[in-house]
Amino acid sequence: MKSSAIFILAALGAFTVPALATTASETNKDLPDRQAALVSSPKSDAQTYLTPRPLSAIPEGAFGDKVRLGYQLFVNTQQLRDKYVGNELNCANCHMDAGRKANASPLWGAYFAYPAYRKKDDKVNTFEERVQGCFNYSMNGKAPAAGSPELVALSAYAYWLGMGGLMDATNMHDPVPELSDAELVKGAKREDFPLPQALASALTVEQRAKLPGRGYPEIPKPELAYSPERGKAVYTAHCQACHGADGQGQAIAGVYSLPPLWGPMSYNWGAGMHRINTAAYFIYENMPFAKSIQLSNQQAWDVAAYINSHERPQDPRNKGDVKQAQDKYHNDNDYYGVEVDGKVLGTAAYPVFPKKS
C-alpha cells in the first residue's frame, strides 16, 4: 500500500466522474431518501483502491464496540428482522466482503460521499439518512430513527473502514481517531469533518468523495435493448444454481446467504437495485459470486431485466395508485407499472415491512 495515496490522487486527476443521469423518480419529500441511482466510479488498470484495515485491528473500548456492532449488523442484518428489516436480505448481499470490497458499493466509499446535496429533493442527505433509505427500500423495512444505536454503529463501521484505509495510504498507522455519535452519523463529505492534518492536506473533500472503487462501476448500455426473455436464458445458465429457479435464494440454518432476488422476501420497488441499470452494473462486476466479469455486457443487462421484471414488495411511496406512483417515481430503467406477461407490475406487489411469518 506504500504509494497508494499517490495512486488514488493520480486516478482522481485522470478522470472526471460522470454523475448518472437523474430521473423523475428522484423526487420525493415524504421519505428521507429516494434511493437515487448510485454514483459509480470508472475503472482503470492504473488505479489502486483503498484497503480497509483488518477487522482484528478494531480497537477495544466503547468506540470499537460501535464499529464491531456495525459490522455485525451489516453481515447479519436479519437480527433486525421485524424491528427494521422486512425481508430476508442482509446488507452484505449487495456489498461484497461486508462492505469492504471496491466496485461493490463499499461502505468506505459511501462514507466519504455524504452528506450530499440532491437538487431534485432540495435536501442534503447525511450518511445516516442514506442508510435509512436502505432500510426503507432495499431491506423493505422501517428505518431506525436518526441517532439510533444501529445507525451510529453502521456509521462507525463505515467511518472506521474508510478512515483506516486512507490513513494507511498516507502512511499514518495510528489508531483511527474516535468521533462522537453526532459527528459519525453525518458522514465525511464536509469541510468541518475532523481529520488528521496530514490527511486533510493530502486530499480535498471532493477527492475523498470520489474514491476509486465506490459504487458499482457503470457499464455501457447494451447493443440490443435489454430483454427479460433473453435474460431468462442467462439466469437459467448462470444464476439459478445459487438463487434458485424461482429466484428465492437459499436459506441454510434459517439464514439466506444466497438471497431471494424477487418476490415477497426481496428488495421493494423503491430500492436502487430494482433499476435495470443499477442491477446490471452490480451483476456485471460482482456475479457469478467471487468470479466477477464473466457475463457479457448484454447478458448483464438482460438478466438484470429478467430479475427486475418480477413482482416484489410495493414501493412504499405508492399512495394506492400504481400509475400515479409510476409517473412520479418510475420513468426510467425499470418495470414498475409496466405490463409483463399480461400483468401490470406493481399492482399485485407484496406488502411493505411484513412480519416474519
Partner 1 sequence: MNNKLNLLVTCITLISGCAMISEAIANPELPQAAQLCVACHGTQGEGIEPLGPRLAGLSKDYISSQLKHFQTGIRQNATMMPMAMTLQGDAIETVASYFSSQSLKNDVKPVIRGEQVSFDNETARLAYQGDWSRDIPACVTCHGPSGIGGGQFPRLAGQQASYLKTQLLAWQAGTRKGDVDGMMANVANKLTTAEIDALAHYFANLK
Instruction: Kindly tell me which of 106 and 115 has the beta carbon lying closer to partner 1.
Output: 106
* Cβ-contact 99, 74 below 8 angstroms: yes
Instruction: Kindly tell me which of 52 and 144 has the beta carbon lying closer to partner 1.
Output: 52
Among 16, 21, 30, 56, binds partner 1 (CB under 8 A): 56
Instruction: Kindly tell me which of 57 and 200 has the beta carbon lying closer to partner 1.
Output: 57
Choose the binding region for partner 1 from 69-77, 132-140, 180-188, 201-209 (rule: CB under 8 A): 69-77
183 CB contacts (<8 Å, ≥6 apart)?
193, 194
Binding mask 88-127 toward partner 1 (x if CB under 8 A, else -) reads: --------xxx-xx--------------------------
291 binds partner 1 per the rule CB under 8 A = yes
What is the C-alpha separation between 88 and 94, in angstroms, rounded? 13
Instruction: Kindly tell me which of 236 and 347 has the beta carbon lying closer to partner 1.
Output: 236
Written as nine digits, the cell of 4 is 497508494
What is the C-alpha separation between 283 and 304, in angstroms, rounded? 7
Instruction: Kindly tell me which of 215 and 259 has the beta carbon lying closer to partner 1.
Output: 259
| Count of other CB atoms within 10 angstroms of residue 20 | 17
Q: What is the DSSP string of 84-107?
A: TB-SS--GGGTSHHHHTSTTS--H
CB of 71 to partner 1, least distance (A): 6
Choose the binding region for partner 1 from 66-74, 117-125, 204-212, 343-351 (rule: CB under 8 A): 66-74
66 CB contacts (<8 Å, ≥6 apart)?
152, 153, 156, 157, 181, 184
What is the C-alpha separation between 193 and 198, in angstroms, rounded? 14
* Cβ-contact 112, 162 below 8 angstroms: yes
Instruction: Kindly tell me which of 19 and 241 has the beta carbon lying closer to partner 1.
Output: 241
Among 9, 17, 20, 55, binds partner 1 (CB under 8 A): 55
Which positions touch partner 1 (CB under 8 A)?
A: 51, 54-56, 58, 68, 71-76, 79, 96-98, 100-101, 237-238, 241-242, 250-253, 255, 257-258, 288-292, 294
